[in-house]
Amino acid sequence: MSVGTSPQDDVRPVAVAITYDKQDAAPRVVAKGYGTLAETIIRTAKENNLYVHQSPELVGLLMQIDLDAHIPPQLYVAIAELLAWLYGLEGGKGQELLMQQDTEAAR
């Protein structure tokens, strides 16, 4: 999942969660939101020991994708590189990814 700030408010968090199942054609967006919803997504991910990545640019692109929709081919390389790094880090255990931008750093 990715957290950042919304275009409307420089301190409002934004979060996107994606998951990947080997049987799917591509990773899917499974949660996204601004403000309190973003904070809940981030907290839930951290409580479940999911990786949280900070990438405001990628968050902006992923926020445009409908919930439960696969990411478009234009994002395959960026997401594949991130997932490959994550799988290496976790020994292949992780299948969900949380991306975020630190709200404090964005101020």
**pLDDT at position 95 over 70:** no
Q: Which of 6-15, 48-57, 62-71, 80-89 has the lowest mean pLDDT?
A: 6-15
Of the candidates 37, 33, 18, 32, the residue with the CA atom closest to the CA atom of residue 75:
18
**pLDDT at position 89 over 60:** yes
| Integer Cα distance of 66 and 55 in angstroms | 19
**Mean pLDDT confidence for 55-82:** 93
Superfamily of domain 2-106: secretion proteins EscU (3.40.1690.10)
pLDDT score of 101: 46
What is the domain partition of the chain in residue ranges? 2-106
pLDDT score of 52: 87
**pLDDT at position 98 over 80:** no
**pLDDT at position 5 over 60:** no
End-to-end CA distance of the chain: give it in Å, rounded.
20
Strand positions, DSSP E, 26-74: 28-34, 51-53
